Structure 1
Amino acid sequence: MRLQRHFQSFRCAGAARLWRRMAAAWLALGMAGAALAAEAPAVCVPVPAPASEAVQDTPAQAQDRGFLWRLEKDGHSSWLYGTMHVGKPAWMPPGEKVGAALRRSEVIALELDLSDPATLAVFTAPLDAAAVARILTPDRRRRLERQIAIACLPADALARLRPILQATTLAGLAVRHDGIFAEWGSEHFLGAYARRHARPIVALEDAQMQLKALAGDSEAEEGAQVDETLDELESGQARTLGAELATVWASSDWQKLSDYRRWCDCVKTATDERALQRLLDDRNPGLAEGIARLHGQGRGVFAAVGALHMVGPKGLPALLAARGFRVTRQVPAP
């Protein structure tokens, strides 16, 4: 199968760069998809059937995972859900509270609609060949090629992607060895749910904006982020810390998620702070505005956004409370 068929399918770092790489990889894999390789050699980790084949009625034993808030304003309710862009098949069927929120919602709002051809086109559009050559120095290209082989991808599987998307796709693939897959991220399951139950999907963001947040403002910045991601892959930190963050989500560990600055030991410099602001804080007001606007149309909205957007005084629950919503956490229980 070709790259474009798979493109619909995490930012770990040593010390000070952990946070930026986790957020960047979430964008590349969760929202841009994964360009995950088809036709992989037999030694690769088998990929489960896609989430679209598992959207059934909620099993009785399903457990609520992730983070869920009820939003109340103007006499009706919507829901805010903190997602994970990678996952395991066993994690996706919604439990009692998440399932009830989905059933009561009339609209599914995601950061991006992964089934939208226009979104796919943004993330698969190649850079100018000269720009790619400047960013992918011979050393970077050699290191990328080695990681592509380790990931059991065909040599040209990522060739159409710009350099930062190639690197962060590889970072996301590292957690496959822990049974965690981009094909089983929350957004894929929710998109399949929406289609099965005839719920419209509304994108809260623009694909170009997300790509800019990921790539940065210059070729030098994109190249530096490629280097950092390759460092993490080569050290094994991409896999270790990516799996840890996914487990935090699966266990709905709100305290640990909220305390990420301590355990990631990653926001130490002005550069780290700027990257954090660009990838989270700068995007949150627009996301809150989009959720409030949809709710204001009188429809119940299930707004699903990456869990790291929920944390702190600039997180979405706080921003929506400031907009007059009554915000009540449902999962985990307050």
Structure 2
Amino acid sequence: MTILRHWRRLCSAALAALLGGAAGLANAQNCPPALPAPNPALLSQPPAQAPDRGLLWQLEKDGRTAWLYASIHIGRPDWLVPGMRLQAALAASDTVALELDLTDPQVMQALAGPVPGRPALTLPADLQTRLQAVARRECTDLAPLAALHPMLQLGQLVAQSARRDGMSVEYGQELALIVQAQRRGLRLAGLETPQGQLQALIPADRKAALEEIREGLRQLESPQLRQQTRRLTEAWAAGDLNTLERYETWCDCVKTAADRAALKRTLDDRNPGMADGIVKLHGQGRRLLVAVGALHMTGEASLLQALRARGFTVTQRWPEPR
């Protein structure tokens, strides 16, 4: 099997489970063009001097070293090629640990199924109308996603909106690292359970869920969303931790106490559990490369702080601190 065909199969399996089946793009004049496939030669043999993107830390504990990479869940086709420092971290590792192991069929099945503790939510007519209007604008058929919680449908529309700027979840770092791990014969591991991650993304309280959906639609209806997504991804690509640290000040997404609670639930509250997962794998003698979303590296309750609290020495290796 060619590496490009393997990447496509990974994309299809991941998207089908995460999104309940790929949402079709309408054949309309204002729809974004299809994104190009990655260069299979660059995936199979990344250039030794490929540019570095994201951020990379070295972790040390008990006389052994691990690596922590700040990933991003959407990207551009050329971002699938690992930079030279990430290649070195892959070469020094025997296990790649992600938030979830998307190659595990049980994980994928759980992502596509009902969320424990989160009952089905039927949107009021006004929110459903707005959701459908955004879907039409983003050339997305919501019918294949009907079984998913509206919060997850909303997330799909955010991902679709990025296609207008040449980005997609297919080019996120998770799939890029899975391709590289499997090409190099490395083991894959997950730091979270799919049920736990979905519970973090979806509020248990119906009123809170509706408030978050209403706020998410407001952002999708605003022309500023694409600008904010570009700023986030460009900061990641440049390794600009300062801009990522100030995310709340420019994202137009933290306006109320409810917004702050949602951000805490989806980021800060997950960091201790992921840190415990890293401790467990490190304690098993694994030579780890860990990749977790970049915003988990920010704030006083960041994953970096959680790892320091568990005895790791954490040293930034890329970009090199000034």
TM-score tier by shorter-chain length is 0.7 to 0.9
Structure 2: distance between partners of 1:169 and 1:50: 22
Counterpart in 2 of 1:207?
194
Asked if structure 1 preserves the Cα contact closer than 8 Å seen for 2:24 and 2:139, the reply is no
Asked if structure 2 preserves the Cα contact closer than 8 Å seen for 1:135 and 1:219, the reply is no
Map 1:68-79 onto structure 2 (within 5 A). Answer: 68-79=56-67
Counterpart in 2 of 1:222?
209
Asked if structure 2 preserves the Cα contact closer than 8 Å seen for 1:110 and 1:187, the reply is yes
- For residues 277-328 of structure 1, give each alpha carbon's deviation from its aligned partner in whole angstroms, at most 9, with x where no partner exists: 2111111111111111111112210010000111133212222122222211
> Identity across aligned pairs (percent)?
42
Counterpart in 2 of 1:37?
23
Q: State the secondary structure of the residue aligned to 1:272.
A: helix
Counterpart in 1 of 2:314?
327
Please tell me the residue identity of whatever aligns with 1:115. T
Counterpart in 2 of 1:101?
89
Map 1:238-277 onto structure 2 (within 5 A). Answer: 238-264=225-251, 266-277=253-264
2:14 corresponds, among 8, 16, 34, to: 8
Please tell me the residue identity of whatever aligns with 1:277. K
1:290 corresponds, among 266, 277, 282, to: 277
Tell me, yes or no, if structure 1 residue 174 matches structure 2 residue 174: no
1:146 corresponds, among 133, 147, 152, to: 133
Q: State the secondary structure of the residue aligned to 1:278.
A: helix
Structure 1: distance between partners of 2:35 and 2:41: 13
Asked if structure 2 preserves the Cα contact closer than 8 Å seen for 1:135 and 1:222, the reply is no
Q: How many residues align?
A: 308
- For residues 100-147 of structure 1, give each alpha carbon's deviation from its aligned partner in whole angstroms, at most 9, with x where no partner exists: 00111110000011222222222322589xx65x53122222222222
Structure 1: distance between partners of 2:131 and 2:76: 26
Structure 2: distance between partners of 1:52 and 1:275: 39
Asked if structure 1 preserves the Cα contact closer than 8 Å seen for 2:115 and 2:199, the reply is no
| Structure 2: gaps of 5 or more residues | 1-9
Counterpart in 1 of 2:108?
120
- Superposed displacement of residue 176, structure 1: 0.7
What is the TM-score normalised by the length of structure 1? 0.84
Asked if structure 1 preserves the Cα contact closer than 8 Å seen for 2:75 and 2:233, the reply is yes
Q: State the secondary structure of the residue aligned to 1:282.
A: helix
1:136 corresponds, among 123, 133, 139, to: 123
Counterpart in 2 of 1:26?
none
Q: State the secondary structure of the residue aligned to 2:65.
A: strand
Counterpart in 1 of 2:6?
none
Q: State the secondary structure of the residue aligned to 1:135.
A: coil
- For residues 143-184 of structure 1, give each alpha carbon's deviation from its aligned partner in whole angstroms, at most 9, with x where no partner exists: 222222222223523223221111111012111111111100
Worse-matched range after superposition: 222-231 or 240-249:
222-231
Counterpart in 2 of 1:309?
296
Please tell me the residue identity of whatever aligns with 1:106. D
Structure 1: distance between partners of 2:39 and 2:97: 18
Worse-matched range after superposition: 252-261 or 49-58:
49-58
1:46 corresponds, among 15, 22, 34, to: 34
- For residues 3-46 of structure 1, give each alpha carbon's deviation from its aligned partner in whole angstroms, at most 9, with x where no partner exists: x984614xxxxxxxxxxxxxxxxxxx9x9468543465264320
- For residues 54-102 of structure 1, give each alpha carbon's deviation from its aligned partner in whole angstroms, at most 9, with x where no partner exists: 6222224421111100111222211011110000011221222111001
RMSD: 2.6
Please tell me the residue identity of whatever aligns with 2:100. L
- For residues 207-227 of structure 1, give each alpha carbon's deviation from its aligned partner in whole angstroms, at most 9, with x where no partner exists: 111111111012222222222
2:69 corresponds, among 81, 85, 93, to: 81
Asked if structure 2 preserves the Cα contact closer than 8 Å seen for 1:8 and 1:114, the reply is yes
- Superposed displacement of residue 236, structure 1: 2.2
Structure 2: distance between partners of 1:223 and 1:284: 25
For residues 53 and 167 of structure 1, do their structure 2 counterparts lie closer, same or farther at Cα, with a shift above 3 Å needed? farther
Worse-matched range after superposition: 62-71 or 221-230:
221-230
Please tell me the residue identity of whatever aligns with 2:90. L
| Structure 1: gaps of 5 or more residues | 10-28
Structure 2: distance between partners of 1:251 and 1:295: 29
Structure 2: distance between partners of 1:257 and 1:159: 33
Asked if structure 1 preserves the Cα contact closer than 8 Å seen for 2:99 and 2:190, the reply is yes
